A and B are shown apart, each in its own frame.
Chain A
Amino acid sequence: MSPPPDFLPKTLDIHVAYDVAGALFALWAVLSLFDTTNRKRVLNALFWALVAVSFIAGDLIGDLGNGILVIVLAAIAGFFGLGLGKPQTTTLEERQARSQKHGDWLFGAALIVPAITFVLSVTLLLPGFLHTAPLMVFGQPFLGDQPNLRTVVSLVIGIVIALAISMLWLKPAPLTPFQEGRRLVDSIGWAAILPQALASLGAVFLAGGVGKAVSDLTSSWIPQDNAFAVVAIYTCGMALFTIVMGNAFAAFPIMTAAIGMPLIVGRLHGDPVIMASLGMLSGYSGTLMTPMAANFNVVPAVLLELPDRNAILNGVIRAQIPTGAMMLVANTALLYFLVFRF
């Protein structure tokens, strides 16, 4: 197969999605700078410009460059704060009238994104199920070679197509969708990058030896031959450690190395596959209960304009705690009854 022509991007993969996001944040930075209704417009412009740099040039500025970028972003948010741009939007009455005029087609426009994500993901997943070769375009795997990133690439493609169709249909002024988007991103503010920053904190925790300290702390006082106690400490430890780290993925290798493998599998001869599957799921109870899992628990509170969005236990977390607690009990019971039986 001949190589792709030079003017086309070599692969349609995650980096194209990063470039799209980078261009959008750069546009928001420029629009912020010209928004005289915002007293802090220079800070907003600088903040969104730095996010744009991260998306477009993150791979070029080196680890130290990225580290300094994070520090500057946090300093802007923490010491100066961001302002709220007020792009013009429609009033409630205008929206009522327009929703009457457009009718249920509005749902059609909103559902283009899930529909395209669905179609693209399924086309990409089928080769895996059928054990055939992945889809190739210009000699490169379509949407990149990392399977778990492909649905996200599909999502961004869906968003771009849906926006294009909606603009052709609704005929807004060319900048209007981006001003409306800026209205939303300004209302989210620094919280827009909090999930990414928290995920990075998890990496620093692990590199600093937090995992080993926690596992030493727990494994020193365990009743090693009491199967139920060991199982409960493993599952509750997964949940607790996830509450601290905000991510079950970070807790899993640590708790499994500290308690799961040596005690449940090694000493008590439990099945490692069942333990691993249910151990990870036990961690999700922690994710439901912690503000550290900001993308799941803080972002929706901001998006839905909940007044207690910055409280440690905001409305979303409070709604989830009972289910999270009951699921932890359920997973502990399932693990105890299944792991020694198969």
Chain B
Amino acid sequence: MLEYLVLAGIALVVGGFLLRLNPLLVVVTGALATGVLGAIAHGAPLTPSALFAALIATLKTLGKAYNNNRIITLIWTILPLIGLLEREGLQERARHLIGRIGAATVGGILLTYFLIRQITSALGLTSMMGQAQTVRPLLAPMTEAALEKEFGPAPDKMRERVRAWSAAADNIAVFYGEDIFIAIGAVLLIVGTMKGFGVNAPPLAISLWAIPTAICALVIHGARLLTFDRSLKRQMGQDT
């Protein structure tokens, strides 16, 4: 039973999130607790020196992983460009563009974006578009403009819903597109893991078997996007 002690670290993280404590602090505390509890579960004696050693070892694991994951934080190098273009009216221009396209609806714009994002991800171009690169400066202003064009000034709740759906379209499209590309991280990880089990899994086969799922994602989320305009109409009726 002692081995389940490490799961207390997960409970700590979930509890901290539920209590709305600062997530960064929750994550670090959860990591340190898991490391120390893990050492106890693996038979470390309950002496101050042994627990301190476990704490230091955990700090090293945490620090090493943090350093190896710097690539995730690189995306913020785009902020000076986005800030400058926003200052010069990029979002206003994106809204203006939607005003010029007569047939543009929120669902229609999102479905078009979804298709482009899924196809480019399947070609390995996952960093080409994204939440900071395209959703905030272009997609969200466009969908908001389409919302206003159709319904006039919309309440904040609806604008926020449309923005959230813009972010969701980007995520879903990239998740179920990227695995079709043979050199993406997920495929390489599968190949490596399966090799560890003594199974030869060629990258091409892994990516081919991702195609049925990609089609399902397009059908499922595409259908939700096509009915999204109607759902917005209903919400507009209720809120006003």
Within the complex, the shortest CB–CB distance from B231 to chain A, in Å, comes to 11
A170 touches B64 (CB 8 A): no
The yes or no answer to B23 lying at the interface (CB within 8 A) is yes
Within the complex, the shortest CB–CB distance from B48 to chain A, in Å, comes to 19
| Beta-carbon nearest neighbor of B182 in chain A | A128
Instruction: List, in ascending order, chain A residues with CB within 8 A of B61's CB.
Output: 63, 67, 203-204, 207
Q: If A195-B73, A203-B61, A306-B164 touch, does A78 touch B3 (CB 8 Å cutoff)?
A: no
A177 touches B83 (CB 8 A): yes
The yes or no answer to A99 lying at the interface (CB within 8 A) is yes
| Beta-carbon nearest neighbor of A193 in chain B | B73
A106 touches B93 (CB 8 A): yes
Among the 9-residue stretches A2-10, A36-44, A88-96, A130-138, the one with 4 or more Cβ atoms under 8 Å from chain B is A88-96
Complex Cα spacing A197 to B23, Å: 10
The yes or no answer to B152 lying at the interface (CB within 8 A) is no
| Residue of A54, A102, A205, A253 ringed by the most chain B CB atoms within 10 A | A205
A284 touches B83 (CB 8 A): no
The yes or no answer to A221 lying at the interface (CB within 8 A) is no
Query: Which residues from 44 to 83 on chain B have a C-beta closer than 8 Å to any C-beta of chain A?
Result: 56, 58-83
Complex Cα spacing A79 to B206, Å: 46
Within the complex, the shortest CB–CB distance from B169 to chain A, in Å, comes to 9
Pick the contact of B135 from A205, A252, A300 — CB < 8 Å? Answer: A300
A208 touches B37 (CB 8 A): yes
The yes or no answer to A33 lying at the interface (CB within 8 A) is no
**Size class of the B contact interface (CB-based, 8 Å):** 35 or more
| Residue of B28, B131, B137, B221 ringed by the most chain A CB atoms within 10 A | B28
| Residue of B126, B164, B201 ringed by the most chain A CB atoms within 10 A | B164
Pick the contact of B172 from A177, A276, A277, A320 — CB < 8 Å? Answer: A320
**Size class of the A contact interface (CB-based, 8 Å):** 35 or more
| Residue of B20, B89, B189 ringed by the most chain A CB atoms within 10 A | B89
B190 touches A121 (CB 8 A): no
B167 touches A106 (CB 8 A): no
Pick the contact of A303 from B38, B73, B136, B171 — CB < 8 Å? Answer: B136
Instruction: List, in ascending order, chain B residues with CB within 8 A of A162's CB.
Output: 81
B88 touches A99 (CB 8 A): yes
Among the 9-residue stretches B101-109, B207-215, B232-240, the one with 4 or more Cβ atoms under 8 Å from chain A is B207-215
Pick the contact of B3 from A114, A190, A209, A331 — CB < 8 Å? Answer: A209
B24 touches A67 (CB 8 A): no
The yes or no answer to A316 lying at the interface (CB within 8 A) is yes
Instruction: List, in ascending order, chain B residues with CB within 8 A of A149's CB.
Output: 71
Instruction: List, in ascending order, chain B residues with CB within 8 A of A192's CB.
Output: 73, 76
Pick the contact of A151 from B10, B94, B125, B194 — CB < 8 Å? Answer: B125
B201 touches A303 (CB 8 A): no
Within the complex, the shortest CB–CB distance from A35 to chain B, in Å, comes to 15
Complex Cα spacing A75 to B167, Å: 30
Query: Which residues from 176 to 225 on chain A have a C-beta closer than 8 Å to any C-beta of chain B?
Result: 176-185, 188, 190-205, 207-210, 212-214, 216-217
Within the complex, the shortest CB–CB distance from A273 to chain B, in Å, comes to 5
Complex Cα spacing A79 to B25, Å: 9
| Beta-carbon nearest neighbor of B164 in chain A | A315
| Beta-carbon nearest neighbor of A150 in chain B | B183
Complex Cα spacing A248 to B189, Å: 11
The yes or no answer to B113 lying at the interface (CB within 8 A) is no
B197 touches A272 (CB 8 A): yes
Complex Cα spacing A117 to B21, Å: 38
B73 touches A51 (CB 8 A): yes
A327 touches B171 (CB 8 A): no
A217 touches B4 (CB 8 A): yes
B172 touches A323 (CB 8 A): yes
B67 touches A59 (CB 8 A): yes
Q: If A63-B63, A185-B79 touch, does A300 touch B24 (CB 8 Å cutoff)?
A: no
Q: If A99-B88, A167-B84 touch, does A288 touch B172 (CB 8 Å cutoff)?
A: yes
Pick the contact of B35 from A95, A193, A207 — CB < 8 Å? Answer: A207
B125 touches A121 (CB 8 A): yes
| Beta-carbon nearest neighbor of A254 in chain B | B193
| Beta-carbon nearest neighbor of B206 in chain A | A277
Instruction: Mark interface residues in A301-326 (1 if CB within 8 Å of B CB, else 0).
Output: 10111111010101110111011001
The yes or no answer to A232 lying at the interface (CB within 8 A) is no
Task: List 15 A-B residue pairs with CB atoms under 8 Å apart, sorted by A's residue number.
Answer: A20-B77, A59-B67, A63-B59, A107-B90, A151-B128, A166-B81, A181-B84, A210-B6, A213-B3, A261-B197, A273-B194, A276-B206, A281-B179, A320-B172, A334-B216
6 smallest CB-CB distances across A and B, nearest first, come from A99-B89, A180-B83, A78-B25, A208-B38, A67-B63, A66-B63
- Which residues of B are interface residues toward A (Cβ below 8 A)? 3-4, 6-7, 9-10, 13-14, 17-18, 20-25, 27-28, 30-31, 34-35, 37-39, 41-42, 56, 58-94, 96-97, 120, 124-129, 131-138, 140, 160-161, 163-168, 170-172, 175-176, 179, 183-186, 188-190, 193-194, 196-197, 199, 201-202, 205-207, 209-210, 212-213, 216-217, 220-221, 224
